[in-house]
């Protein structure tokens, strides 16, 4: 499961991670975002030790959502080496999401 933590700066989390970071921009009122929560838990299990998942409530951090041009929820951004390498908007089932991420991790 994704770990809830407070941080001062998303850039610190992204650039300070030895693992690729998958950032999930969501909102508590968003139905598809709730579906993604379960999917991301499964993704985390399958890719344990290969990826770090961070969830960001776009209502609590609107400036971050704006900085990353988040127009739809949920939106997943994959960062590798501190740089964005993939963007996924909307719900993607577990198996296709894991396959897509594995293709970017290698």
CB of 73 closer than 8 Å to CB of 30: yes
| 45: DSSP letter | H
Instruction: Assess whether the previous peptide bond of 74 is cis (omega < 30° from 0).
Output: yes
Using only C-alpha atoms, the chain has a radius of gyration, in whole angstroms, of 13
Catalytic annotation, pick one of 10, 33, 47, 53 = 33
CB of 80 closer than 8 Å to CB of 74: no
Quote the CA–CA distance of 30 and 27 in Å, as a whole number: 5
Instruction: Reply yes or no on whether 33 is catalytic.
Output: yes
Catalytic annotation, pick one of 2, 13, 27, 30 = 30
Just list the catalytic residues: 30, 33
């Amino acid at each position: 499961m994704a770990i809830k933590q407070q941080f001062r700066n998303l850039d610190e989390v992204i650039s300070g991670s030895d693992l690729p970071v998958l950032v999930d921009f969501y909102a508590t009122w968003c139905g598809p975002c709730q579906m993604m929560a379960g999917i991301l838990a499964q993704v985390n299990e399958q890719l344990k030790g290969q990826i770090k998942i961070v969830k960001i409530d776009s209502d609590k951090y609107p400036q971050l959502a704006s900085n990353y041009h988040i127009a739809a929820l949920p939106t997943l951004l994959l960062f590798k080496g501190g740089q964005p390498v993939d963007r996924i908007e909307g719900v993607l089932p577990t198996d296709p999401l894991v396959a897509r991420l594995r293709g970017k991790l290698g």
